[in-house]
A and B are shown apart, each in its own frame.
Chain A
Amino acid sequence: MIVSRLLWKTLLKLTVLFLLLAVATTLTSGWTLRSRLTEEFRSKGQAISNSVANAAVDVIISRDASSVQALIDQYGEIAGVGYVFVTDSDGQIIAHTFVPTIPENVLPLTPNQRSAAIQEIKIQGSGNHIDISSPMLAGLAGTVHVGMNRDVIEAHIRDAQRTLLLVLAVVFLVGVASAYFVIGRMTGPVGEAARVARAVSAGDLTVRIQSRSKDETGELIRSINRMTESLNGIAGKMQTSGSDLVTIAARVATNSRRMDAAMQELGAFTGDTLVSSTQISNTSQQLFRTMDDLSRLAEDSALLAAVGKEGLGRMENTVARLVDLTAQLSGSFAEMKEKTNSIGMVTTAMTKVADRTNLLSLNAAIEAEKAGVQGAGFSVVAREIRRLADQTAVSTLEIEKIVSGIQSAVSNGVDMVRNFSDEVRLSESEIRNAAQQLSQIVEKVQALSPRFEAVTQGTLSQSEGAESIHRSMILLNETAEKTARSVDEFQEITIRLEDAARILQNEVSRFRTAG
Chain B
Amino acid sequence: MLVRVLLLIGCLIPCSGFTENIRIGMSAAFSGPSRGLGIELYRGSRTYFESVNRSGGVNGNSINLEVLDDGYDPVRAIDNTVKFMQNGNILLLFNYVGTPTVTRILPLLRKYSDRNHLLFFPFTGAQPHRQPPYDEFVFNLRASYREETAGLVEHFAGLRRKRIAVFYQIDAYGRSGWDGVQRALYARGLRMVAEATYRRGTSFRQSMKAQVEILRKANPDAVISVGTYEPCAAFIRDARDAGWNVPVANVSFVGSENLLSTLLEYGTGRQTDYTRNLINSQVVPSYEEVSLPAVREYREIMNRFDMQPPEWLLKEQYKPLPYSFVSFEGFLNAKLLVEILSRIQGLPARDGLQQAIESMESVDLGIGAPVSFGPQKHQGLNTIYYTTVENGKFVKLDDWSRWKQ
B179 with A66: CB separation less than 8 A: yes
- B residues within 8 A CB of A98? 170, 197
Output the least CB separation between A97 and chain B (Å).
6
- B residues within 8 A CB of A73? 74, 100, 171-172
Q: Given A67-B127, A67-B172, A70-B104, do A101 and B179 touch, yes or no (CB 8 Å)?
A: no
B100 with A70: CB separation less than 8 A: yes
B99 with A66: CB separation less than 8 A: yes
Output the least CB separation between B172 and chain A (Å).
4
- A residues within 8 A CB of B198? 99-100
A64 within 8 A of B: yes
Known: A100-B197, A101-B214; 13 extra A-B contacts, CB below 8 A, are A62-B132, A64-B127, A64-B128, A66-B126, A66-B127, A66-B128, A66-B172, A66-B176, A67-B172, A69-B172, A70-B103, A97-B170, A99-B199
Question: In this complex, what residue of A is CB-closest to B194?
Answer: A101
B290 within 8 A of A: no
A102 within 8 A of B: yes
Output the least CB separation between A309 and chain B (Å).
152
- A residues within 8 A CB of B64? none
A259 within 8 A of B: no
Measured in the bound complex, the distance between the Cα atoms of B210 and A102 in whole Å is 13
- Most chain B CB inside 10 Å of its own CB: which residue of A68, A73, A99, A100: A100
Question: In this complex, what residue of B is CB-closest to A58?
Answer: B133
Measured in the bound complex, the distance between the Cα atoms of B103 and A66 in whole Å is 9
Question: In this complex, what residue of A is CB-closest to B176?
Answer: A66
B337 within 8 A of A: no
A69 with B171: CB separation less than 8 A: yes
- 0 or 1 for each of A51-73: is its CB under 8 Å from B? (1 = yes): 00000000000101111111001
B211 with A101: CB separation less than 8 A: yes
A95 within 8 A of B: yes
Measured in the bound complex, the distance between the Cα atoms of B126 and A69 in whole Å is 12
Interface size class of B (residues with CB under 8 A): 20 to 34
Q: Given A65-B178, A100-B214, A101-B196, do A70 and B128 touch, yes or no (CB 8 Å)?
A: yes
A-B CB proximity, top 6 nearest? A69-B175, A66-B176, A65-B179, A70-B172, A70-B103, A66-B172
- B residues within 8 A CB of A101? 194-197, 211, 214
B291 within 8 A of A: no
**Residue from the list A65, A94, A99, A100 in contact with B176, Cβ < 8 A:** A65
Interface size class of A (residues with CB under 8 A): 10 to 19
Residue pairs across A and B with Cβ atoms less than 8 A apart, 7 shown, are A64-B128, A65-B175, A66-B99, A67-B128, A69-B176, A98-B170, A100-B197
Question: In this complex, what residue of B is CB-closest to A99?
Answer: B197
- 0 or 1 for each of A70-98: is its CB under 8 Å from B? (1 = yes): 10010000000000000000000011111
- A residues within 8 A CB of B182? 65
A100 with B131: CB separation less than 8 A: no
Residues of B170-209 contacting chain A, CB below 8 A? 170-176, 178-179, 182, 194-199
- B contacts with A: majority SS: helix
A68 with B211: CB separation less than 8 A: no
**Residue from the list B99, B127, B195 in contact with A102, Cβ < 8 A:** B195
- Residues of A whose CB lies within 8 Å of any CB of B are 62, 64-70, 73, 94-102
Measured in the bound complex, the distance between the Cα atoms of B210 and A143 in whole Å is 28
Measured in the bound complex, the distance between the Cα atoms of B197 and A97 in whole Å is 9
- A residues within 8 A CB of B179? 64-66, 94
Measured in the bound complex, the distance between the Cα atoms of B43 and A171 in whole Å is 66
Measured in the bound complex, the distance between the Cα atoms of B170 and A67 in whole Å is 13
Output the least CB separation between B187 and chain A (Å).
13
Output the least CB separation between A345 and chain B (Å).
176
- A residues within 8 A CB of B99? 66
Output the least CB separation between B224 and chain A (Å).
15
- A residues within 8 A CB of B74? 73
Output the least CB separation between B262 and chain A (Å).
20
**Residue from the list B100, B131, B170, B194 in contact with A99, Cβ < 8 A:** B170
Question: In this complex, what residue of A is CB-closest to B128?
Answer: A67
Output the least CB separation between B46 and chain A (Å).
29
Output the least CB separation between B345 and chain A (Å).
38
Measured in the bound complex, the distance between the Cα atoms of B214 and A101 in whole Å is 8
Q: Given A66-B172, A69-B171, do A100 and B211 touch, yes or no (CB 8 Å)?
A: yes
- Most chain B CB inside 10 Å of its own CB: which residue of A62, A95, A99, A102: A99
Question: In this complex, what residue of B is CB-closest to A62?
Answer: B131
Measured in the bound complex, the distance between the Cα atoms of B176 and A69 in whole Å is 9
Measured in the bound complex, the distance between the Cα atoms of B170 and A96 in whole Å is 8
Measured in the bound complex, the distance between the Cα atoms of B126 and A95 in whole Å is 15
- B residues within 8 A CB of A69? 170-172, 174-176
- 0 or 1 for each of B87-112: is its CB under 8 Å from A? (1 = yes): 00000000000011001100000000
Question: In this complex, what residue of B is CB-closest to A65?
Answer: B179
- A residues within 8 A CB of B178? 65
Measured in the bound complex, the distance between the Cα atoms of B178 and A102 in whole Å is 14
Residues of B324-341 contacting chain A, CB below 8 A? none
Output the least CB separation between B365 and chain A (Å).
28
Output the least CB separation between A89 and chain B (Å).
15
B197 with A66: CB separation less than 8 A: no
Output the least CB separation between A104 and chain B (Å).
11
Question: In this complex, what residue of B is CB-closest to A64?
Answer: B127
Output the least CB separation between A506 and chain B (Å).
85
A95 with B175: CB separation less than 8 A: yes
Output the least CB separation between A423 and chain B (Å).
152
- 0 or 1 for each of B214-248: is its CB under 8 Å from A? (1 = yes): 10000000000000000000000000000000000
Measured in the bound complex, the distance between the Cα atoms of B175 and A95 in whole Å is 7
Measured in the bound complex, the distance between the Cα atoms of B172 and A97 in whole Å is 11
- B residues within 8 A CB of A102? 195
- A residues within 8 A CB of B214? 100-101
Measured in the bound complex, the distance between the Cα atoms of B317 and A139 in whole Å is 51
- B residues within 8 A CB of A95? 175
